[in-house]
Amino acid sequence: MDKIKIVLVDDHQMFRDGVKSVLSDEDNIEVIGEIGNGNDLYEVLKSIKPDVIITDISMPEISGIDIAKYVSENYPEIKILILSMHSNEEFITKALSAGANGYLPKDTSMNELLEAINTIYTGDNYFNKEISDTILKSIINKSKSAKENAKNETLTKREKEIVNLVVDGLANKEIADKLFISVRTVDSHKNNIMQKLNLKSSVELVKYAIKNNLAKLD
């Protein structure tokens, strides 16, 4: 049976020793290298080719995200598993964009680490529930943001001007005088804005405009 060849990249020797100790008990896994920084990894990859690289994110000089990007571009056959103390959305999405195949928090169980290694070795991605929930939340937020931006783009230049004046606290008569249009025209524009943005009152419009950067606050 072919063994899964692993290279560990982490600037903490004690952590590398701990992971290596656990992996050495597995019949189908072989740790063929342990490295403390990205520069040394790039040199090592010129002579050995692991199946999986397990790397931290926060390291001196070259981060795990930089490593994932470099390896995915130059050695696409090598799988990348991020094992990091950072589990917030920014780090996770950056790692995935860079080409990571899996992402786990450092406090994960060794059983889950082994499951992740075997999963990404076969060509699938692996994320535990915590990381998956964060990824899903990010996708939902981006989808909502895209929808709101699409709504904003449907507003005309004049309608955006009126939104800004409403946020500034101007009444319809004041808006009409400032823009040299009739009050009836202002009413018509506001009705169109409300329909496009699915809003029901000027208060909702002000809140929406501020939240979605439609208006600039002085």
| CATH code at 4-137 | 3.40.50.2300
Q: Name all contacts of 115-122 with Cβ < 8 Å and 24+ positions apart.
A: 116/81, 117/4, 117/6, 117/23, 117/29, 117/52, 117/54, 117/81, 118/4, 118/28, 120/52, 120/79, 120/80, 120/81, 121/4, 121/51, 121/52, 121/79
CATH number of 154-211: 1.10.10.10
Residue of 105, 95, 101, 35 whose CA lies nearest to 65: 95
- SS3 (DSSP) at 158: helix
Is the predicted pLDDT of residue 76 greater than 90, yes or no?
yes
Q: What are phi and psi of 58, to 5 degrees?
A: -85, 105
pLDDT tens digits for range 29-45 = 999 999 998 889 999 99
Tens of pLDDT, residue by residue over 143-196, are: 565 555 555 667 888 888 888 888 888 888 998 898 899 889 888 888 888 888
Residues 6+ apart with CB under 8 A from 140: none
Where along the chain do the CATH 1.10.10.10 domains lie?
Answer: 154-211
Cα 159 to Cα 192: distance, rounded to the nearest angstrom: 8
66 alpha carbon, distance to own chain's centre: 15
Give the pair of three-digit tokens for residue 159.
Answer: 């309608």
Residue ranges matching CATH 3.40.50.2300 in the chain? 4-137
The answer on pLDDT for 71 being more than 90 is yes
- Mean local confidence (pLDDT), 81-98: 83
Predicted pLDDT of residue 212? 77
pLDDT at site 1? 64
- The rounded mean pLDDT for the chain is 85
* Model confidence, pTM: 0.62
Q: Name the packing angle between helices 110-121 and 13-23 (round to 10°).
A: 70
